[in-house]
A and B are shown apart, each in its own frame.
Chain A
């Protein structure tokens, strides 16, 4: 089945650094979503994007919906220890309620 190409697979950064991750697809998406999963928990929605070119922020998080509708990125500024977790992108194709998920970016933040 189709999965999104999400990169990088993992990141090890120091507290205070900025982080950037992205997702690309061969398909055009109607919606892009970014989720965070803490260890032992279910994914939690961070940001939802609905229009090509849209740039949306949620605190220290900023995400953009690519102009081509085939990509999205997530930036985290001034990382803190509680940013640790796995970040997933997800895309929704036109005409369906189903989401396709990326394989995740595992983030580790060191003090």
Chain B
């Protein structure tokens, strides 16, 4: 099992450009998440999906859109990138329902917006 995979690993964008970050998991998990990590801020939830076909906003959703393509895949789109979106982005997945709610993370995408 590959676990949670993310592409690309690194990306540099110019202000105003768009891009999609891809995430896939092979653990048959129902829930998937997108976080951003900034220095000294820990992990902040952007969007999450409790099941295929559903998505909900997290703590910092502005400037992002998501698509839960199927049970395996959850993508994050930046329509018009801004320098404030320079960050490391992590995708995670977990089972839904009663305990445990352990989330498993991908290796991250390091995004720089110039």
Contact residues of A with B, CB < 8 Å? 1, 3-4, 6, 30-31, 33, 35, 40-45, 48, 50, 88, 90, 92, 97-99, 101-104
Contacts and interface: CB of A to CB of B under 8 A. Distances in A.
Contact of B100 (A35, A42, A48, A101): A48
B94 A104 contact: no
A12 to B, nearest CB: 17
Contact of A88 (B40, B42, B100, B104): B42
Given A97-B48, A97-B50, A98-B58, A45 B42 contact: no
Interface stretch (B14-22, B71-79, B105-113): B105-113
Contacts, number: 64
Contact of B104 (A6, A31, A45, A98): A45
Interface of B: 4, 31, 33, 40-45, 48, 50, 58-60, 90, 92, 94, 96, 99-108
B101 A99 contact: yes
B43 A101 contact: yes
B107 A41 contact: yes
Contacts of A90: 43, 103
A97 B44 contact: no
Contacts of B104: 45
B108 A41 contact: yes
B96 A98 contact: no
A103 B40 CA distance: 6
Contacts of A30: 99, 101
A30 B103 CA distance: 15
